[in-house]
Amino acid sequence: MNVCENNIYNCDCLYGLKNIDDESIDLVVTSPPYDDLRKYSGFSWDFEETARELFRVVKKNGVVVWIVADSVIKGSETGNSFRQALFFKACGFDLYDRGNKRIEEAYNNKEVLKATVSQVLDGGLSVIVDEVRIFIPASLVSDSYEKDLSKYAGQEIEFVISEYNPKRRRYIGDRRQLLVAQKAELQKELFERIHEGDIVEGVVKNVTDFGAFIDLGGADGLLHISEMSCWVP
């Protein structure tokens, strides 16, 4: 097979690569099958041989965009993408993890990220940002204890990166501190707005033997039972 420019070829990737001249490719973008997360009609492939062929055909200073992810087993990633990265480095490639760079910048700048919850795990939530899987522990999902996190499945949430450790592939997100900060701001605005003797509206959050707790939109107020009245027309 003679490989020519501006043509589309449907063939085994290794067969196709072996018919390409040395250092003739500027850019390769591919997302191969990985970790049994994606399958192509039972097709199997030789990763190491493919990596060697890519190094042969890509020009010096050329780019290979290798889009993969790891499956999560019992809360832990398999790390296969990391092992593949190390093999690419052993072949002679320089490594640049775009996803890691994005997360590093977000961590350093305390940037608020937004992503859809991809998995609800026993101990928290999993989201993906630029192919990097971020774990949000249950204790950092909300500002109050939530036993059942299933309601977050498929939801888009905001969070910040509270731990960034690429050597251990540990990326921890924190949604709780955003909620705490939002409530603190609402509380500040509330206290600046209300005064003793004002008539305010709120939502009953909890009823006890001695009264009711009312959400005033930034702080909870106690309406004592002795201050309650009931009027029936």
In tens, the pLDDT along 62-92 reads: 899 888 878 777 777 788 888 898 899 899 9
The burial class, CB within 10 Å (0-12 / 13-18 / 19+), for 125 is buried
Average pLDDT for 114-127: 92
Phi-psi sector, 103: left (phi>0), alpha (psi -120 to 50), beta: alpha
| Confidence band of 39 (pLDDT split at 50, 70, 90) | low
Q: What is the pLDDT of residue 30?
A: 87
Distance, in Å, from the CA atom of 15 to the CA atom of 110, rounded to the nearest integer, reads 47
Q: What is the pLDDT of residue 38?
A: 62
Q: Quick check: 1 pLDDT over 70?
A: no
| Weakest mean pLDDT among 25-34, 122-131, 221-230 | 221-230
Q: What is the token pair recorded at 127?
A: 């989201």
Q: Quick check: 176 pLDDT over 90?
A: yes
The burial class, CB within 10 Å (0-12 / 13-18 / 19+), for 14 is middle
Q: 47-57 vs 80-91: helix axis angle to the nearest 10? A: 40
Q: Quick check: 17 pLDDT over 60?
A: yes
* Owner of token pair 């251990």: 168
| Confidence band of 170 (pLDDT split at 50, 70, 90) | confident
Question: Hey, which residues does 160 pair with through a beta bridge?
Answer: 174
Q: What is the pLDDT of residue 116?
A: 95
Can you give the pTM of this predicted structure?
Answer: 0.55
Distance, in Å, from the CA atom of 149 to the CA atom of 126, rounded to the nearest integer, reads 11
